Amino acid sequence: MEELKDLSKLCIHTITTKPWNIEESARNFSKAGVKGITVWRDALDGRNIKQTGQLLREHDLTIVSLCRGGFFAHKELNKRKAAIDDNKRAIEEAAELGTSMIVLVCGADPAQSLEESRKQIHDGIAALIPDASAAGVKLTIEPLHPMYADARSAINTLSQANDMAEALHSEWVGVAVDVYHLWWDPSLETEIKRCGENRNLAAFHICDWKNPTADLLLDRGLMGEGCIPVKKIRSWVEAAGFNGFNEVEIFSNTYWNMDQSEFLNKIIKAYKENS
Amino acid sequence: MEELKDLSKLCIHTITTKPWNIEESARNFSKAGVKGITVWRDALDGRNIKQTGQLLREHDLTIVSLCRGGFFAHKELNKRKAAIDDNKRAIEEAAELGTSMIVLVCGADPAQSLEESRKQIHDGIAALIPDASAAGVKLTIEPLHPMYADARSAINTLSQANDMAEALHSEWVGVAVDVYHLWWDPSLETEIKRCGENRNLAAFHICDWKNPTADLLLDRGLMGEGCIPVKKIRSWVEAAGFNGFNEVEIFSNTYWNMDQSEFLNKIIKAYKENS
């Protein structure tokens, strides 16, 4: 596989450097030569979204996606309806911001079966396709690690995400491959190939799985720090035709407690050496 | 499915009531009408194993299995050899104790690929089959949740465990279905059926997945307390021909901090109502 010689495909999620507000992230990412940013919706709180998008572009940052929509699965109909409305707002926000993709954390309701949650996810995404098409925003299904099947996502393998994207069969629906969620899966290479062949491979997220991992949510590692074969998985993703950004998405109390400029240096080093 | 009207198929792991030593567990399980016990090796520390087995039988307890062998995957050859030796000792201990099954947590080494770890697991189990056969002890592969793929097991789905058991093709190799590890898998019903058809379904472990789960290891719930459809999975296991014990295996700081007699009452209630 090719080495990552420069930062032209490096994208960082705003949540990765959570202690910085979006203006600080934009300034610091840009100064360091980072070329992409994925914006979490909380980073836009209290801001004019169009102007924020303009600011990011002025820093020469491609806005890779808005993170995150989804959470379609609820036992109660009114909550499912509210989720659709919220996703419509997210589509509007993405369009205002000037990005062509929303990442979906699809949801799961522990009060009902996973099968039922999956049906509601399918129906939720289907209901949004007209809005997504009108806004030019792709809805990207991110399968989540099985440890989040209780309340975050009933889509827990790339096979399931592929099934759903193929069933929905729309150019406005895609799939995100996140190494943290999928690295353990013996069918990963096959499913990445399938995802590419069906033109659904829309995003690639990287970080690492630390051993030991201290927290189910907030202890992700930098690439190279754990046991995920990030380079190998990137080679599979690229062999499947993906040529978009490599997005660094890390939730970590350890790193959030660190000086964020120092952390950014570590991200760039880990990106060059271990991604 | 049939309701669990009595405790004739209830087995409890010694680790579930960890604050009790094995003599206290035997006395209290027996008094409560529990009919099976799975013994963790640490519970035998400093004891005469034959006499301990005799004591358990005197309390009218079936010794369902010895828990646990495995940990075959190591980058270093000397550690792999040491693991084989340790598993041979476990087989001897099982025979002395008077149980016909050892549960295997197969292992994974974060310093090598999962594929490599899986090969070593296969070879490790294959190397033990003569000893297992001579002792009359079945080696039971327990697939572990993908969140343990870093260092505990490279076998993370029932499909993988079935593959390996079928490849090893021995009456001395079986598979354990633990709802905690496998509940999220969309192919679970199919794979349980396959496991039964190939006569590999050797053990059934129950507990629940709490939402939220506070710890990757030590926050398992009682049946009914979380989102696992325990009754439904039990019906699949029984439809696949399994008629062994339902083994309650719970690691929980919360419950270990409770009065264990009170906890045992809760286990029995949860078993009758939600299993």
Asked if A40 and A69 count as a contact pair (C-beta separation under 8 A), the reply is no
Secondary structure in 3-state letters for chain A: CCCCCCCCCEEEEHHHHCCCCHHHHHHHHHHHCCCEEEEEHHHHCCCCHHHHHHHHHHCCCEEEEEEEEECCCCCCHHHHHHHHHHHHHHHHHHHHHCCCEEEEECECCCCCCHHHHHHHHHHHHHHHHHHHHHHCCEEEECCCCHHHCCCCECCCCHHHHHHHHHHHCCCCEEEEEEHHHHCCCCCHHHHHHHHHHCCCEEEEEECECCCCCCCCCCECECCCCCCCCHHHHHHHHHHCCCCCCEEECCCEHHHHCCCHHHHHHHHHHHHHHHC
Chain A contact for B185, CB < 8 A? yes
Q: Do A150 and B113 touch (CB under 8 A)?
A: no
| pLDDT at residue number A80 | 98
Asked if B239 and B197 count as a contact pair (C-beta separation under 8 A), the reply is no
Q: Which residues of A touch B227 (CB under 8 A)?
A: 110-111, 150-151
Q: Select from B146, B164, B167, B166 the least CA-distant residue to B156.
A: B146
| pLDDT at residue number A237 | 98
Tens-place pLDDT, residues A10-65: 999 999 999 999 999 999 999 999 999 999 999 999 999 999 999 999 999 999 99
Chain A contact for B273, CB < 8 A? no
| pLDDT at residue number B5 | 81
Distance in Å, alpha carbon of B256 to nearest chain A alpha carbon: 20
> Chain A residue with minimal CA distance to B163?
A186
Chain B contact for A209, CB < 8 A? yes
Q: Do B226 and A183 touch (CB under 8 A)?
A: no
Tens-place pLDDT, residues A89-99: 999 999 999 99
Q: Do A157 and B213 touch (CB under 8 A)?
A: no
Q: Do A211 and B160 touch (CB under 8 A)?
A: no
Q: Do A229 and B186 touch (CB under 8 A)?
A: no
- Considering only the beta carbons, identify the residue of A111, A146, A213 that sits closest to B216: A213
| pLDDT at residue number B3 | 83
What percentage of chain A carries pLDDT values higher than 90? 98
Q: Do A216 and B213 touch (CB under 8 A)?
A: yes
Q: Which residues of B touch A215 (CB under 8 A)?
A: 216
A270 Cβ neighbours under 8 A, 6+ residues apart = A222, A223, A224, A225
| pLDDT at residue number A57 | 98
Chain A contact for B244, CB < 8 A? no
- Considering only the beta carbons, identify the residue of B110, B183, B211 that sits closest to A211: B110
Distance in Å, alpha carbon of A227 to nearest chain B alpha carbon: 5
Radius of gyration for chain B, computed over Cα atoms and rounded to the nearest angstrom: 18
Quickly state the pLDDT bin for A2 (edges 50, 70, 90): confident
| pLDDT at residue number A5 | 81
Distance in Å, alpha carbon of A146 to nearest chain B alpha carbon: 6
Distance in Å, alpha carbon of A135 to nearest chain B alpha carbon: 33
A169 Cβ neighbours under 8 A, 6+ residues apart = none
- Considering only the beta carbons, identify the residue of A114, A186, A226 that sits closest to B160: A186
**Measured between alpha carbons, how far apart are the two ends of chain B, in Å?**
11
Tell me the β-bridge partners of A72.
none
- Considering only the beta carbons, identify the residue of B160, B184, B212 that sits closest to A156: B184
Residue with tokens 């069906």: A198
Whole-angstrom Cα distance, residue A161 to residue B48?
Answer: 53
Distance in Å, alpha carbon of B1 to nearest chain A alpha carbon: 17
Query: Is the ipTM value over 0.95, yes or no?
Result: yes
Quickly state the pLDDT bin for A3 (edges 50, 70, 90): confident
Distance in Å, alpha carbon of B156 to nearest chain A alpha carbon: 8
Residue type, B82: A
B242 Cβ neighbours under 8 A, 6+ residues apart = B196, B201, B204
Q: Do B151 and A211 touch (CB under 8 A)?
A: yes
Q: Do B110 and A227 touch (CB under 8 A)?
A: yes
Secondary structure in 3-state letters for chain B: CCCCCCCCCEEEEHHHHCCCCHHHHHHHHHHHCCCEEEEEHHHHCCCCHHHHHHHHHHCCCEEEEEEEEECCCCCCHHHHHHHHHHHHHHHHHHHHHCCCEEEEECECCCCCCHHHHHHHHHHHHHHHHHHHHHHCCEEEECCCCHHHCCCCECCCCHHHHHHHHHHHCCCCEEEEEEHHHHCCCCCHHHHHHHHHHCCCEEEEEECECCCCCCCCCCECECCCCCCCCHHHHHHHHHHCCCCCCEEECCCEHHHHCCCHHHHHHHHHHHHHHHC
Tens-place pLDDT, residues A162-207: 999 999 999 999 999 999 999 999 999 999 999 999 999 999 999 9
Size of chain A, expressed as the number of residues it contains: 275
- Which of B157, B184, B191, B209 is most worth mutating to test chain A (most A CB atoms within 10 A of its CB)? B184
Residues of chain B with pLDDT under 70: 1
> Chain A residue with minimal CA distance to B229?
A113
Burial class, B204, CB count within 10 angstroms (exposed 0-12 / middle 13-18 / buried 19+): buried
Q: Do A113 and B229 touch (CB under 8 A)?
A: yes
Chain A contact for B218, CB < 8 A? no
Q: Do A150 and B226 touch (CB under 8 A)?
A: yes
Tell me the β-bridge partners of B12.
B37, B248
pLDDT at A1 over 70: no
Q: Do A216 and B211 touch (CB under 8 A)?
A: no
Q: Select from A23, A24, A95, A35 the least CA-distant residue to A271.
A: A35
Chain A contact for B183, CB < 8 A? yes
